[in-house]
Structure 1
Amino acid sequence: MTSPQLAPSTPAAPQAPGAPRGSSPVRPAVVWILTRALQVLLVSEVFGRVGDGINGEVHRIYRTWYEQLLSGAFPLDDVMWQYPPGAALVILSPALVPGLSYFQAFVALTLLVDAVVTAALVRAGRRQGRLAGAWVWVAGLPLLLHVPLVRYDVQVTALAVLALLALRRRPVAAGALAAVGALVKVWPALALLGAPRGRTTRAAWGSAAVSAAALLGVLALAFSHTFDFLRQQGNRGVQIESLGGTALALARLVGAPYEGAYRVEYRYGAMEYLGPYVSTVAHASLALTVLAFGWLLLWRVRARRWNAATACDAALCAVLLFVVTSRVISPQYMIWLIGLSAVCMTLRESVLRPVVKLLLLACFVSTLAYPLAYGQVTTGTVYGCLLMLVRNGLLVAAALLACRRLWASTVARPAS
């Protein structure tokens, strides 16, 4: 097998003594404080309720799980519990903050993790003399309004971001972080997909396997019904915000096929379609996911050129493919893409800068759909369908562009 070639890095511009120009963390810190204060005000409903039931996920669902987990058992026969056992660590984390209600402690810890990610991105960016990555995270997350504060996806994304930032220098630590993330919400395992071949891959993947096995063993001993979540995954349908859901919404809008046959119900913690061909659309989504996984394996085998950003680019491309082909595409999925985009933008060598722009635009449109116009998305009005068509169209375009640019930078022969 031909050994991979390490692409030459872009020469760094001459820098004056001290911190590189444009890498001062003061402005990102100020913007972080202002935007997060606004998010907290939105969560507190100071301006009134923005969207319906956004805070209820923590107030009702997470709180119920918290009480069940304190008894030493994972939620039993709860169709809402669809997450790997590591999610218990996040759900139980508010117990670390005494004196606050569960909701207050959850939001406070989410802000703390958000700040840690920001600091890590600033630190990584200053090595390159650029804070583009930190800005993507600091300014990108508020595009989703206060949704990031009342979902546990910021915590999951933090594990993937930190794993990618550590991969080149500390692959063992990166593997452990990715493993913990995978046991919380699966997808952070993809952070290791683009690890440079050789010692880095062996160290990272080996560490991930050992860490995952150890943590899984501890959780299995500490809680009963550890693997009950697996029973809830196969029955999930097509969420209205998914790519398949957009197709069904357009079919319902134009009255074909079977006018009036499609309806929307709250199932498995999401608004899902019921009606003709829904199961076909769900199976088509799963088939596309399998094809995406096959393409990623082919890329891994064929890739020959690595640079400092290849692992980050590969992680963003992989997660983007799985998001696009998902039966769900919940609004919080955009948090994952913002975090991985931020890591890519810390590195000058990244080839996915145009993809990041598309994803930030998709985040803005996603917020117009949820929470601002979710009623119209649910009822399938022209405006609701248009929002989903634009948002998902941007995601598809970003995924195709990411695949093309990743392949061209690592597999295709460079132009002479």
Structure 2
Amino acid sequence: MCPVPDDTPRSPAAPPTATDPASTRDLGARLLASPWLLALAFAVVHARLIHEAITWQNTIYGDVTLYEWWARYGFDTGQWPVLDYDWVYPVGALLPVVGPALVSDGVLGYEIVWTAVVVALNAVATVFLVRSTPRGALGAWWWLIFLLALGPIFLGRLDGVIAPLIVVALVVARRHPRVAVAVATAGAWIKIAPGAVVVALAATRRTLRDLLRTVVVPGAVVSLVVVGLALVGGAGGRALSVFGQQGARTLQVESVAATWFSVARWWDPSITVEYNDDIFTYEVTGDAARSVADTLDWVLIVAVLAIAALTLWAARRHPERAYELVLLCSAALLVALIVFNKVGSPQFVSWVGPPVAVALAAAPPGRSLRWWWPPALGMVLVAYETYLVYPVAYGPFLGGETWMVVVEALRNLALVVLLTGAVWRIAHLGAGGRTARDPARSA
């Protein structure tokens, strides 16, 4: 007996609806990956930062006014920083400082051009991040959130020039470490912080020959060009004068090491904060603060060497994790440059955003990527706390008001925790092995 065919009509599978969780996730992912939406967000975030910078005019653009004075004084008298007198910045900083003065007239014009340059550099870095990494849109969205939390200080300092360079260097380091070293070295001749990327790349090289070809040669070529031009301009020994300019400074009131003194002001009236007219910053006075500042001069060097040595050990044990270690080492070094620094300027926080953004965009998937989410959240909180201290409530902080001292103390504690976590992760990678869920990636 033949089976009777079943002619009962069947409904086709229902298409996913707008309320279907999977459909909603897909739509959200497509929106976040949209270059047009990301470009709009970039414009909105930077418009907000520019508006705030204008609102806090003197607070944010105070240093930019000084940059303009250095440039105009050079054009008017022929006397240039480094070339004719000692300077607090490396000689490469002359390029971004002098550039806006070439195409502007007056302080306001200089500030407008300066702001445009910083935004343009950040746009280039964001495009690099999006187009050259597996999850570039994710990293770019986090970077914009981080900058929004940090506030307009990013626009009003040289750090707004070097932070995009750190982003580019870390992105390029995935496939072209020599180019990354060249970019980071150029950035370090503007301000020291990008040198952390060079140290991280050096610590993850497999052989001496690899170290020489990948790090030493490109770094030396860039340095020779910069120093050579400075010598041609008549700098002489001043080409390296920046390395001796910080010795006379004492403990800046915002620095991590000054936290105890800020809290102790509640019960010890002998602890005071004074304005340093020579370097335009507030410092903690007294012999104890001076001793801490002097100690930090060598503790910072020891910390950098220790992190580099730990990374070298981890990379030798697991060379397949080289790029992940570059990101971790860069983050650890950049946080260390804040934690163990007697200078604690708020814009320093912008240094740490790039390795986190690049890690979210390019770190190996699985556990390695998930590890970056807690520090990513922590850095946004650190950025916002920094914004609250400067520019929002800098006066109350200097006056020792309880709520602002607590905010600053919590921010500094968070930086110490982030540094500890980065160092622990480097050690954990060095001690551990490869797992199936956490595939190895190399630089």
The 1-side partners of 2:169 and 2:350 are apart by: 16
Q: Normalising by the residue count of structure 2, what TM-score does the alignment of the two structures yield? A: 0.80
1:355 aligned residue? 375
The 1-side partners of 2:39 and 2:151 are apart by: 18
Q: Percent same amino acid among aligned pairs?
A: 26
Structure ranking higher in helix proportion: 2
Q: Is the 8 A contact 2:331 2:356 kept in 1?
A: yes
When residues 51 and 187 of structure 1 are mapped into structure 2, their CA distance, relative to the original with a 3 A threshold, is: same
1:172 aligned residue? 178
1:412 aligned residue? 431
2:242 aligned residue? 229
1:120 and 2:133 matched:
no
The 2-side partners of 1:248 and 1:393 are apart by: 14
1:310-339 deviation digits (Å, cap 9, x = unpaired): 212211111111211111121101111112
Q: Is the 8 A contact 1:83 1:185 kept in 2?
A: yes
Deviates more, 1:383-392 or 1:339-348: 339-348
The 2-side partners of 1:301 and 1:340 are apart by: 18
Number of residue pairs aligned between Structure 1 and Structure 2: 385
Q: Is the 8 A contact 1:148 1:332 kept in 2?
A: yes
When residues 253 and 394 of structure 1 are mapped into structure 2, their CA distance, relative to the original with a 3 A threshold, is: same
2:90 aligned residue? 84
1:153 aligned residue? 159
Quick one: which amino acid aligns to residue 252 of structure 2?
A: Q
Say what the alpha-carbon RMSD is for the aligned residues: 2.4
Structure 1: gaps spanning 5 or more residues: 1-19
Higher radius of gyration, 1 or 2? 2
1:227-263 deviation digits (Å, cap 9, x = unpaired): 44344210011011111211111122221xxx33433
Pick from 26, 40, 53 the counterpart of residue 50 of structure 2.
Answer: 40
Quick one: which amino acid aligns to residue 315 of structure 1?
A: S
Pick from 220, 238, 251 the counterpart of residue 231 of structure 2.
Answer: 220
When residues 139 and 123 of structure 1 are mapped into structure 2, their CA distance, relative to the original with a 3 A threshold, is: same
The 2-side partners of 1:261 and 1:169 are apart by: 51
When residues 381 and 98 of structure 1 are mapped into structure 2, their CA distance, relative to the original with a 3 A threshold, is: closer
CA shift for structure 1 position 64: 1.4
1:10 aligned residue? none
1:265 and 2:284 matched:
no
Pick from 381, 395, 399 the counterpart of residue 415 of structure 2.
Answer: 395
When residues 69 and 157 of structure 1 are mapped into structure 2, their CA distance, relative to the original with a 3 A threshold, is: farther
Structure 2: gaps spanning 5 or more residues: 1-28, 436-443
1:73 aligned residue? 80
Q: Normalising by the residue count of structure 1, what TM-score does the alignment of the two structures yield? A: 0.85
Quick one: which amino acid aligns to residue 403 of structure 2?
A: Y
The 2-side partners of 1:75 and 1:86 are apart by: 10
1:296 aligned residue? 307
2:398 aligned residue? 378
When residues 415 and 41 of structure 1 are mapped into structure 2, their CA distance, relative to the original with a 3 A threshold, is: closer
CA shift for structure 1 position 76: 8.6
When residues 191 and 265 of structure 1 are mapped into structure 2, their CA distance, relative to the original with a 3 A threshold, is: same
CA shift for structure 1 position 375: 0.6
Q: Is the 8 A contact 1:72 1:223 kept in 2?
A: no
Quick one: which amino acid aligns to residue 243 of structure 1?
A: V
1:281 and 2:288 matched:
no
When residues 210 and 76 of structure 1 are mapped into structure 2, their CA distance, relative to the original with a 3 A threshold, is: closer
1:369 and 2:385 matched:
no
